[in-house]
Amino acid sequence: MKRILIVGCPGAGKSTAARALSEITGLPVIHLDRHYWQPGWRMPDSNVWRTTVETLAAEPCWIMDGNYSGTLVSRLARADTLIHLDYPTGLCLWRVLRRTTLGWGRVRVDTGPGCPERFDVEFLHFVMNYRRDQRARDMERMADFAGEVHRFTRPAELTAFIAGQRTA
């Protein structure tokens, strides 16, 4: 495992999993949210974003977390391992609400500078509708991935996987 891609609904725990695996493997973490969001939660130009992702994915080793469906195929082409956190909507929504409440006004390590935690109704709608609106497309894009695939439907499965990496 030299290039690990972690994907899933917002709130699934992608960034937390990336940091835990980095501690074990020593691989550097690339939080896509940190590179995507500009100060004040502004989105980058789509061409600039694609170039940024291609540059990041070209690095020799990494653990990259984030969905960003528009760049998923190009990231999958560079990854050797895929971790898909395929958790229920209710769990992801609860985690987003908890993260928002506990981190209110602070900038997380996995987001861009100048992007303090905030309540965002549009984002909550995205999380609530992810399985219905986004999941099938993401699953289709992941279907032909030739590397190692780990799909977890419960946090306990991910916890066991990470524990297993510690002993490997």
pLDDT for 167: 86
Q: What is the mean pLDDT of residues 23-46?
A: 96
pLDDT of 168 higher than 80: no
* Token pair recorded at residue 5: 């891609």
pLDDT one-digit tens code per residue, 71-102: 999 999 999 999 999 999 999 999 999 999 99
Phi and psi dihedrals of 62, rounded to 5? -175, 165
Mean pLDDT of 50-71: 96
* Percent of the chain residues topping a pLDDT of 90: 96
What number is the average pLDDT over the span 133-156? 96
Q: Which of 22-26, 119-123, 164-168 has the lowest average pLDDT?
A: 164-168
Residue 152 has pLDDT above 80, yes or no: yes
Q: Contact, 141 vs 68, CB < 8 A?
A: no
Q: Is the pLDDT of residue 151 over 80?
A: yes
Q: What is the pLDDT of residue 166?
A: 87
Reported pTM: 0.96
Computed on alpha carbons and rounded to an integer, the radius of gyration of the chain in Å comes to 15
What span, in angstroms and rounded, lies between the C-alpha atoms of 32 and 52? 10
Sign of the Cα torsion 107, 103, 13, 142 reads negative
